[in-house]
């Protein structure tokens, strides 16, 4: 929704209006978030007792009140963890490149004006949103029915969501000079990429639910570097020659990046709970030490 709205605002009120609009929306959302979000249903002051009791029964409760240290060595040497990190980086690199550069490409290569630019640039994200919802429902249905294991589901949907956009970027390298083909390919590629929600995106909860935040934090921190890298890459490749030939190089790089990310996850990804994800609680360790001390005495 943001791109068509901002395209309209820029055309009628100047480019500054897009930043005022999105900035105000961000502040309003943040205020709402801090006002309504709490760690647990028990801590929330503005829900009914009926809702609170229902949530407490329906949601798994963490009974471990102590601090559980992150098993850094096991986590950082785990192939399934690095499968998430690498694949997330590859997927987000492609996403950032499209997010940051698609309006420029539509304007400079396809020669659409800013009003059409905003609307056309938003089409891939509408498709991505719808695909994210549909693929998540489908993946859960396949897992519940037993037709796919968690590992098979994660690999299948990740291979589809990250591998196919790589193929689409190859097609774009040869047919992207055509207006209709180019918009259709971009839209289809980013729509398909929405299936990552049923693939690697929630995979940290499968392999290590207590440390999924840490895993996603590492993946997201490293992949954010792709935002700078994609902008730098396109800027350098099109700095002296803003032609379709230069953009072909961008598409070939994206195709290779997507393919690499999909291949890594298909080989090393897993949906199984990892042994290191549930460290033994301290009381059990103390109970095991006491008999040994008695034997020594």
Residue ranges, the chain, pLDDT below 70: 60-67, 113-121, 279-297
In whole angstroms, what is the distance from residue 279 CA to residue 229 CA?
37
11 and 111 both lie in a single domain: no
Residue 194 belongs to a domain: yes
Question: pLDDT tens for residues 216-251?
Answer: 999 999 888 887 888 888 888 887 777 888 888 889
Q: Flag whether 207 is in a domain.
A: yes
pLDDT of residue 240: 73
Reduced 3-state DSSP string for 145-163: HCCCCHHHHHHHHHHHHHH
What pLDDT, on the 0 to 100 scale, is given for residue 78?
95
Residues 2 and 122 in one domain: no
Q: Assess whether 253 and 192 both reside in one domain.
A: yes
Task: Tally the domains of the chain.
Answer: 2
Burial of residue 153 (CB within 10 Å: 0-12, 13-18, 19+) is: buried
Boundaries of domain holding 29:
1-41
So what's the pLDDT on residue 149?
Answer: 94
Give the orientation angle of helix 114-145 with respect to helix 179-193, to 10 degrees: 40
Task: Give domain status of residue 86, yes or no.
Answer: yes
Examine the domain organization and report whether 118 and 210 are in the same domain: yes
DSSP 284: H
Residues 20 and 109 in one domain: no
pLDDT (tens digit, 9 = 90+) per residue, 111-152? 776 556 666 667 778 888 999 999 999 999 999 999 999 999
Please indicate, yes or no, if residue 13 is contained in any of the structural domains: yes
């Amino acid at each position: 929704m943001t791109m068509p709205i901002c395209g309209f605002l820029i055309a009628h009120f100047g480019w500054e209006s897009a930043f005022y609009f999105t900035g105000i929306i961000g502040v309003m959302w943040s205020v709402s978030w801090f006002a309504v979000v709490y760690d647990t249903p028990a801590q929330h002051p503005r829900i009914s007792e009926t809702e609170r009791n229902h949530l407490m029964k329906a949601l798994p409760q963490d009974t471990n009140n102590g601090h559980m240290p992150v098993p850094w060595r096991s986590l950082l040497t785990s192939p399934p963890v690095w499968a998430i990190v690498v694949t997330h980086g590859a997927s987000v690199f492609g996403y950032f490149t499209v997010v940051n550069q698609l309006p420029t490409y539509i304007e400079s290569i396809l020669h659409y004006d800013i009003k059409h630019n905003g609307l056309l640039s938003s089409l891939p994200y509408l498709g991505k949103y719808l695909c994210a919802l549909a693929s998540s429902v489908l993946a859960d249905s396949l897992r519940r029915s037993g037709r796919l294991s968690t590992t098979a589901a994660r690999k299948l949907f990740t291979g589809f969501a990250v591998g196919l956009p790589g193929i689409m970027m190859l097609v774009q390298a040869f047919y992207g000079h055509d207006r209709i083909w180019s918009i259709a390919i971009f839209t289809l590629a980013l729509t398909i990429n929405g299936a990552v929600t049923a693939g690697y995106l929630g995979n940290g909860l499968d392999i290590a639910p207590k440390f999924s935040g840490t895993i996603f934090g590492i993946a997201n921190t490293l992949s954010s570097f792709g935002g700078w890298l994609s902008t730098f890459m396109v800027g350098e490749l099109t700095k002296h020659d803003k032609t379709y030939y230069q953009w072909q190089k961008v598409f070939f790089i994206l195709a290779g990046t997507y393919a690499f990310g999909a291949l890594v996850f298909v080989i090393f990804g897993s949906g199984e709970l990892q042994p290191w994800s549930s460290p033994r609680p301290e009381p059990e360790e103390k109970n095991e030490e006491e008999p040994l001390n008695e034997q020594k005495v």
